[in-house]
Amino acid sequence: MNWIKAIERWRALSPEEQRQIRLKNLPRKVARSMAFEGEPVDEAMLEEFLAQLNASPTLEINSLVHSSDDFCGRATEPSTGIAKEPGT
């Protein structure tokens, strides 16, 4: 498949299908990027975290950065998974 057909195929997908593909590839991209920076991270752990995030009806993918003290070093609010500011 040449690049033009690949782009046409991508554009033919619904926004939800594009979103799912992007999310599916996210753990691998993050793991590769971290390894390149000399800070390897377990891809399986990232996949598990993403699966938990997708399974939670109260969390949105945009809260990924703030939803785990493993990634941010901050405690999270149990009811929402949103990071609490230090001292709160």
For the chain, the domains span: 3-43, 56-88
* Residue 76, beta-bridge partner list: 83
pTM: 0.53
pLDDT for the residue numbered 20: 87
Q: What is the pLDDT of residues 40-81, one digit of tens each?
A: 889 999 999 888 887 776 656 555 544 444 444 445 555 555
The token pair that represents 22 in the structure block: 């992007």
Helix (H) or strand (E) holding 22: helix 15-36
